[in-house]
Structures are given as structure tokens and as C-alpha cells.
Amino acid sequence: MNIDWTYKSFDQLTVNELYAILRLRTEVFVVEQNCPYQDEDDKDQKSYHLMGWVGDDLAAYTRLLPKGISYDKPSIGRVVTSPRYRRSGFGKELMIQSIETAHKLWGKQPIQIGAQLYLQKFYESLGFIVCGPVYLEDNIDHIEMLHTP
């Protein structure tokens, strides 16, 4: 199964792309994780959006944030793979593409993330290291991690 990667600024997104992004984020972060929270946080407009498409289906997505939005370093957030494409390897490919795209956009500099704690080993396998204590966000344990090129 092939996945086609593209990234766009908020203003470049089509209405259909934005709808697919918001639908996938709600499907996983709100409904599947049973975590009612306000997903739209006014950071999308300042971010780039990396999308992995299988045909017309959004299979994987991340939000790439420039430094100064979430952290004093560039950041990757809203990391999500569609339930229909889990165990396909797309999650790892998504993060590799995200790191490469962040470096393309902002140069090779450290990238900081706030990861769900249960995914710590996954992010460590990609070169991230823990850089802060466990904290509760939207009733889910998270940990800050850093990737240094």
C-alpha cells in the first residue's frame, strides 16, 4: 500500500483537506480516546500540516509548529494514524516524514514534542529523549521529549 505525503500551510489547505484533518483528529483524540476537549486551539493557523494520503483517504497526519507556538523549539503535534491504517508502518513513516519536513522548513535544529506516555518507547526508537517530567493533559499522561539532529 502506497502513501502519498504532502504538507501545506493552513492557508494552502483546501476545504476538503481541512475537513479530513479535523475529522481524523476528532475520530481518534476525542471519540476513540474518550477525551472531550477543544481540539481547535488557534495553533493550526500558524502551523504546517503534514498529510499522508492513500487515494482520497487521510491515513496519517501531524501538525508542524514553528518555534514559539508550543515550545521555544519547533514542534510536532497532533500525531495521528487512522485506525484503518494502523499496523501498516505508517506511524513510523509519519514521524520520519515529520522530522524531515520540520528540518526542511526550519533547518536542522532540535524538535520538542509532548508525547502520550504510552508511546514513549516508540518515540525513543526515532531518536527522541525524555526532557521533562510526566504531566497530565486532557486526562492523559504525557511526557516532553526532544529530538536533536
* pLDDT by position in tens, the chain (length 149): 899 999 999 999 999 999 999 999 999 988 888 888 788 899 999 999 999 999 999 999 999 999 999 999 999 999 999 999 999 999 999 999 999 999 999 999 999 999 999 999 999 999 999 999 999 988 889 999 999 98
Say which CATH topology domain 4-147 has.
Answer: Aminopeptidase (3.40.630)
The answer for 139, left when phi > 0, alpha when psi is -120 to 50, beta otherwise, is left
Q: What is the pTM of this model?
A: 0.94
What is the grid cell recorded at 121? 518507547
Distance CA 122, CA 91 (A): 9
Integer angstrom CA distances of residue 26 from 35, 81, 113: 10, 12, 20
Q: Where are the domains of the chain?
A: 4-147
Helix (H) or strand (E) holding 137: strand 128-137
